[in-house]
């Protein structure tokens, strides 16, 4: 099982690493081409789109992963053709309806509510992205369910770089503002999704006659409660943008968004890669091998995840200021103070779907939705309480506390279905190693963002690797496993 996880996690990590490179190209360009308030406006539009895309999916992306494993195990009376047609046509239709509905509703919202005259026309213009992203989700989640991680990452990388090329062309030669950004985004994502659909179904188009209404009803019964989960998750992770805008203004929002987005790149590369590889695997283990094999797989996964996450959190805390100043310019460097809290929160957010695996396996989607909903409400309350006292740090602390509560609640409520041993000893061990690494590398300072950052990264990796190999037997066995696979 470790070999299988390593294979898929490597594919996701390689692909996400290339996506991060694209992000590292676009990030400093956007923070320089756009004004700070335009960057904050872009974050507001992105938050609205995330909420609307979540509604447009009707939770079908989660149902795609869950039901595919059942169909392959012969526990459903339908086959792969019916599954494909139901996912493609079902998600395509609801995505189209969601986009059209938002195009109308966004124009009925009073302009004063947006607190910016540019928001309403941008909402109308970007409503087409809702359909594009919902339909794209229908495609990529089929690949995820089939564990075709290599194909999925090739598509994601090609899509990202083609869109980046178009974005840069528009920003530099057509319109260097937020309108140019979203025009290029819509054109790039739309063409990429269309191309992928043509490639996936080049031999056989999904037929309407294969569409299964009973399967759609079952998937919606599983997925619709996940709309609340999706919306609550977005409010939990991004709702603080509106509170910051209200309490601290657009300049502070731009600074916070830059720091948050930089952390998000790393989350996708490391945390996202591991979880994306693990989720369809534990569904398959459950359906085909039972609870014991599933628990054994997840217990080992959590140890690996703990080792990686502690390195990332401490490492980014050590180089966050230099990295943010180097990438986004020094006008955003004040956002470095929130990075440790945001990064730790993202590490917990990513693994909630693993620690709460018992809830997902038993399809307790209403419970999941309520947990995330109440955690999102708690986060909003904490933001209103802590931001006036701590500034931007208050937003980061609120996010971290909320995700800790969510993870603990998920573990407690999912244990009746699947008890996952939480590696608290590993958390203490790797946390201690990470703390030593942080103390050592923060003493390095060349009074230059780039040189200091590079030196701290190299030193940090060396210190963390040396201490981990010295004090962790599984890490030494993992190195031996990799060496054997590579023939060294």
Burial status of residue 139 (CB atoms within 10 A of its CB: 0-12, 13-18, 19 or more) = buried
Identify the pLDDT of residue 194. Answer: 93
pTM value?
0.67
Higher-scoring residue by pLDDT: 234, 85:
85
Cβ-contact 149, 5 below 8 angstroms? no
With a cut of 90, say whether residue 386 has pLDDT above it.
yes
pLDDT, residue 422, reads 76
Q: 404-456 pLDDT, tens per residue? A: 998 888 888 888 777 777 778 888 999 999 999 999 999 998 888 788 889 99
The more confidently predicted of residues 407 and 271 is 407
Closest by Cα among 109, 102, 85 to 201: 85
Q: Pull the structure tokens for residue 68.
A: 């595919």
pLDDT for residue 436 = 94
Task: Note the pLDDT of residue 411.
Answer: 84
CB 178 within 8 A of CB 34: yes
Q: Write the DSSP assignment of 338-390 as a string of letters.
A: GHHHHHHHHHHHHHHHHHTHHHHHTT-HHHHHHHHHHHHHHHHHHHHHHHHHH
Residues across the chain: 488
* 482 confidence band (pLDDT: 50, 70, 90): low
Write down the residue that tokens 């490179």 correspond to.
21
Mean pLDDT of 143-154: 78
CA 18/CA 24 separation, integer angstroms: 10
**Mean pLDDT lowest among 232-236, 290-294, 321-325, 385-389:** 232-236
pLDDT, residue 299, reads 83
């Amino acid at each position: 099982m470790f070999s299988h996880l390593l294979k898929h996690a490597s594919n996701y990590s390689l692909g996400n690493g290339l996506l991060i490179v694209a992000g590292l190209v676009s990030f400093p360009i956007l923070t320089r081409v756009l004004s700070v308030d335009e960057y904050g406006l872009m974050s507001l539009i992105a938050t609205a789109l995330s909420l609307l895309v979540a509604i447009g999916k009707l939770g079908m992306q989660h149902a795609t992963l869950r039901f595919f494993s059942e169909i392959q195990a012969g526990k459903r009376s339908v086959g792969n053709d019916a599954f494909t047609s139901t996912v493609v046509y079902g998600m395509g239709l609801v995505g189209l309806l969601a986009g059209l509905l938002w195009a109308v509703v966004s124009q009925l919202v009073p302009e004063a509510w947006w607190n910016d005259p540019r928001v309403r026309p941008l909402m109308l213009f970007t409503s087409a992205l809702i359909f594009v992203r919902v339909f794209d989700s229908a495609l990529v989640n089929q690949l995820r369910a089939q564990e075709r991680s290599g194909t999925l990452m090739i598509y994601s990388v090609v899509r990202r770089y083609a869109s980046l090329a178009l974005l840069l062309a528009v920003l530099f030669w057509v319109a260097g503002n937020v309108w140019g950004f979203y025009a290029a985004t819509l054109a790039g994502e739309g063409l990429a999704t269309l191309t992928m659909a043509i490639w996936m179904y080049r031999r056989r188009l999904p037929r309407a006659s294969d569409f299964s209404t009973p399967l759609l009803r079952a998937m919606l019964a599983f997925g619709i409660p996940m709309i609340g989960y999706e919306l609550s998750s977005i409010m939990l992770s991004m709702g603080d943008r509106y509170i910051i805008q209200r309490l601290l203004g657009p300049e502070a929002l731009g600074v916070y968004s830059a720091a948050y987005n930089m952390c998000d790149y790393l989350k996708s590369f490391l945390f996202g890669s591991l979880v994306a590889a693990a989720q369809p695997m534990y569904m398959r283990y459950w359906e085909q091998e039972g609870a014991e094999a599933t628990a054994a797989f997840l217990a080992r996964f959590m140890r690996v995840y703990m080792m990686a996450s502690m390195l990332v959190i401490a490492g980014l805390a050590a180089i966050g200021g230099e990295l943010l100043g180097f990438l986004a310019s020094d006008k955003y460097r004040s956002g470095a103070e929130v990075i440790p809290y945001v990064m730790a929160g993202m590490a917990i957010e990513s693994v909630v779907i693993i620690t709460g695996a018992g809830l997902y396996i038993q399809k307790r989607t209403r419970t999941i939705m309520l947990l995330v909903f109440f955690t999102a409400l708690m986060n909003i309350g904490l933001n209103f309480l802590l931001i006036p006292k701590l500034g931007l740090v208050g937003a980061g602390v609120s996010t971290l506390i909320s995700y800790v509560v969510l993870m603990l609640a998920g573990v407690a409520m999912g244990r009746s279905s699947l008890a996952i041993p939480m590696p608290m000893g590993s958390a203490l061990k790797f946390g201690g190693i990470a703390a030593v690494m942080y103390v050592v590398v923060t003493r390095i300072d060349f009074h230059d963002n780039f040189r200091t950052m590079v030196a701290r990264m190299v030193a940090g990796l060396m210190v963390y690797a040396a201490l981990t190999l010295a004090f962790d037997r599984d890490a030494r066995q993992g190195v031996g496993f990799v060496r054997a696979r590579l023939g060294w």
